[in-house]
């Protein structure tokens, strides 16, 4: 399902035995503050703090997954001590790592790594720069901020760090997402061309959203720094119950792509161009909409409001 976070909890269990057998202890260089990993959606929450090993930033495979959460699938082979990363939006779609190895297998070809794959704090750790670049993402080291930057993050303020609230990071990331180029997959469905546009984000999410502009609704996911259409539909004003899309209580007349399923509440942002106001609130899993507030749309160019109820859920 589009909104189910892809986890590999079983990986943690599988590598416990490996961790106990591993006697190698990496030499971690000291830093003035913890190393941060930053992507287009903000500072990445890491299960194991990234660290520098002989000039190479090492991160867990779970951290790699969070760089592009909708595009990455991770699996673990306990017998071979091998992890496989399937990256669905890149020609080099399969990366395979073996604990202790100094290379990664890229669709059958060996690519040498600066540091070997290893176990640290009961997690499989890999070199962040090499893996990100193999996924087609740009990588930069920000020495002053002690952070590694993945992809285009120009929209993020340098003051946004992991010490900021998740709500602050989410507010900036959602605004960035709505400013991305939208890639529409033919055939493009017609819309009513109304002056009101409503965007819906799953709670706590910034890289997946619906956009309704009256008579037409499109579901987007952020991939390669673009908002790519995965589903679209037209609807009329006849009441209807849409399985999986209770926030859209109208009869769907035509759709393209695979209809997503919403299993969480949604935060919504409605812009009325005629009065230049932005209305925002929540939609619960039963489709009930609750407006929380309204602001001048021009005041949301850098960040969208994140309401208190959602902030509480993020803690």
Compute the mean pLDDT over every residue in the chain, rounded to the nearest whole number: 79
The greatest distance separating any two alpha carbons of the chain, rounded to the nearest whole angstrom, comes to 66
pLDDT score recorded for residue 162 = 47
CA distances to 60, 196, 226, 237, 278 from 182, in Å: 31, 18, 6, 26, 21
Q: Phi first, then psi: what are they for 186, rounded to 5°?
A: -60, 150
Please tell me whether the peptide bond between 187 and the residue prior to it is cis, using omega within 30 degrees of 0.
yes
> Would you say residue 265 has pLDDT above 50?
yes
Burial class (CB in 10 A: 0-12, 13-18, 19+), 289: middle
3-state secondary structure of 215: coil
Structure tokens at 121: 């704090």
pLDDT score recorded for residue 220 = 95
Average pLDDT over residues 34-42: 81
pLDDT score recorded for residue 23 = 36
Name which of 10-24, 42-56, 172-186 the model is least confident about. 10-24
> Would you say residue 28 has pLDDT above 80?
no
Burial class (CB in 10 A: 0-12, 13-18, 19+), 244: exposed
pLDDT score recorded for residue 99 = 93
> Would you say residue 297 has pLDDT above 60?
yes
Average pLDDT over residues 253-270: 92
Instruction: Determine the Cα–Cα distance for residues 72 and 50; give it in Å rounded to an integer.
Output: 19
Structure tokens at 293: 């507030």
Q: How many helices (H) and strands (E) does the chain have?
A: 5, 22
> Would you say residue 5 has pLDDT above 50?
no
Average pLDDT over residues 232-250: 91
Average pLDDT over residues 40-44: 75
3-state secondary structure of 32: coil
- How sure is the predictor about 1, in pLDDT bands with cuts at 50, 70 and 90? very low
Instruction: Determine the Cα–Cα distance for residues 314 and 48; give it in Å rounded to an integer.
Output: 19
pLDDT score recorded for residue 313 = 54
> Would you say residue 55 has pLDDT above 70?
yes
What confidence tens digit (pLDDT) does each residue in 80-130 have?
899 888 876 544 478 888 999 998 888 778 888 989 999 998 889 999 988
pLDDT above 90: percentage of residues in the chain: 25
pLDDT score recorded for residue 118 = 93
pLDDT score recorded for residue 9 = 37
Give the list of residues 6+ apart from residue 109 with CB closer than 8 angstroms, or none. none
């Amino acid at each position: 399902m589009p909104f189910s976070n892809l986890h590999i909890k079983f990986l943690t269990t599988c590598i416990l035995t490996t961790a106990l057998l591993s006697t190698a202890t990496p030499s971690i260089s000291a830093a003035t503050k913890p190393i941060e990993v930053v992507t287009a959606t903000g500072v990445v929450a890491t299960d194991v703090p990234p660290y520098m090993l002989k000039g190479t930033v090492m991160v867990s495979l779970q951290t790699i997954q969070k760089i592009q959460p909708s595009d990455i699938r991770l699996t673990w082979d306990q017998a071979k001590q091998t992890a496989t990363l399937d990256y669905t939006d890149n020609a080099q779609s399969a990366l395979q790592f073996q604990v202790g190895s100094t290379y990664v297998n890229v669709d059958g070809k060996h690519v040498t790594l600066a540091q070997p794959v290893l176990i640290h704090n009961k997690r499989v750790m890999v070199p962040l720069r090499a893996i990100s670049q193999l996924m087609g993402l740009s990588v930069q080291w920000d020495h002053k901020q002690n952070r590694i930057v993945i992809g285009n993050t120009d929209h993020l303020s340098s003051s946004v760090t992991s010490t900021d609230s998740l709500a602050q990071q989410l507010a900036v990331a959602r605004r960035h997402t709505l400013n991305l180029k939208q890639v529409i997959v033919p055939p493009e469905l017609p819309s009513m061309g109304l002056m009101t546009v409503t965007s819906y984000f799953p709670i706590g999410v910034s890289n997946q959203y619906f956009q309704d502009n009256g008579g037409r609704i499109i579901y987007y996911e952020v991939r390669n720094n673009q908002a790519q259409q995965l589903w679209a539909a037209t609807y009329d004003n006849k009441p209807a119950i849409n399985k999986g899309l209770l926030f859209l209580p109208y009869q769907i007349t035509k759709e393209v792509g695979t209809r997503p399923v919403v299993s969480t509440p949604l935060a919504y942002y409605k812009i009325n161009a005629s009065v230049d106001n932005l209305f925002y609130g929540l939609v619960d899993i039963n489709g009930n909409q609750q407006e929380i507030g309204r602001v001048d749309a021009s005041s949301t160019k850098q960040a969208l409001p994140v309401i208190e109820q959602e902030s509480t859920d993020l803690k």
